Amino acid sequence: MTARFAADLGARAVQLLDPEAAHRATVRLMASPFSPRFHVRCDSMLATSVAGLNFSNPIGLAAGFDKNAEAPNAMLRLGFGFVEVGAVTPRPQRGNDRPRVFRLREDEAVINRYGFNNDGLEAIAARLKRRRRMGVVGVNLGANKDSENRIDDFVAGVKRLEGLVDFYTVNISSPNTPGLRALQDKKSLIELLSRVTKARDALAVKAPVFLKVAPDLADADKADIASAVIEQKIDALIVSNTTIARPEWLKSADAAEKGGLSGKPLFLPSTELLAEFYEALKGKTPLIGVGGVGSAEDAFEKIKAGAALVQLYTALIYKGPGLIPAIIEKLPALLKAEGFSSVDDAIGSGV
């Protein structure tokens, strides 16, 4: 039995558990000495650089899986080119009441309303400090639900995690913290990004700052975000977080649950939004495509729509960790078939 087959078999078995229990069990396994390790050879044409960081391949783990930075190295050993932990808030946070995560099997999707449950900045900083440095690991920064000043929360995260991560993601796009998405308003966004970048620039160790946006944006919001990102010299834009929209064609019984929808139904709208931002930013800011990626073909579509890097998470629930080496091994052939010699050559080619 190969390591990949065994890991995928285990992933299917854990789906017999309640979704949140399955999530916790998987994180604990990955944080243990028994976590699977794949020997994945990355073709040199997959190597790329974004915001001064070097990536062996463009496929990353999105935030939300390893909320408390318990297993970033183990996830890198599955073949990911980079890992994003969190979201982390300054103070520990319980999150929303259970049940708060729902599998939509028929739709290869998930709805979650976790609400930034995490161990807090101090505990996560301590884990990251103990970590043996390898690969590219970033952190998704959030704000406490009851915070009096949410911008202060993001600044606190930047300062406390100095030298412990390779990039910071400012997450103002989760639908599960009331009022958080209001920070996407132009005036609020400029104030937020200005203060975050100023705090970063004052540090001895300066890591890139990324911004993660929602897919549910009006045209005016898109223009404001693009303008703010350029004005504040943000290092990359992540498109996009989960959606509050519910396509009429969803089949699963839990499709009407409140929260953010991720997985296959998010692929098309998030990819269309990615292409819009690629056109709006005109190459001035790198893009990271996330939403519904479940195959090498999906990752390639994100790249052609403008993504320099790609993230995924939900597809792992249904396809298991063997999905990562499968994407990495097939992507070079897809690039070559369309005449590209590297990931960089293909970025935005479909826009």
* Catalytic sites, residue numbers: 174
- Torsion angles phi and psi, residue 21, rounded to 5: -65, -35
- Rounded to an integer, what distance in angstroms lies between the CA atom of residue 227 and that of residue 219? 13
Residue ranges of alpha helices (H) inside 15-133 are 19-30, 72-76, 121-130
- Rounded to an integer, what distance in angstroms lies between the CA atom of residue 119 and that of residue 103? 24
Query: With contact defined as beta carbons under 8 Å apart, do 277 and 306 qualify?
Result: yes
Can you say how many angstroms the Cα of residue 223 is from the centroid of all Cα atoms in its chain?
22
Burial level of 130, CB count in 10 A (0-12/13-18/19+)? Answer: exposed
- Rounded to an integer, what distance in angstroms lies between the CA atom of residue 303 and that of residue 47? 13
C-alpha torsion sign, points 327, 329, 333, 339: positive
- Rounded to an integer, what distance in angstroms lies between the CA atom of residue 237 and that of residue 347? 14
Query: With contact defined as beta carbons under 8 Å apart, do 343 and 58 qualify?
Result: yes
According to DSSP, the β-strands at 109-112 and 137-141 are unpaired
CA distances for 211 relative to 54, 73, 248, angstroms: 19, 23, 30
**E-strand spans in the chain?**
48-50, 53-55, 59-61, 82-88, 101-104, 109-112, 137-141, 167-171, 209-213, 236-239, 260-263, 287-290, 307-312
Burial level of 205, CB count in 10 A (0-12/13-18/19+)? Answer: exposed
Closest of 63, 76, 233 to residue 142, by C-alpha: 63
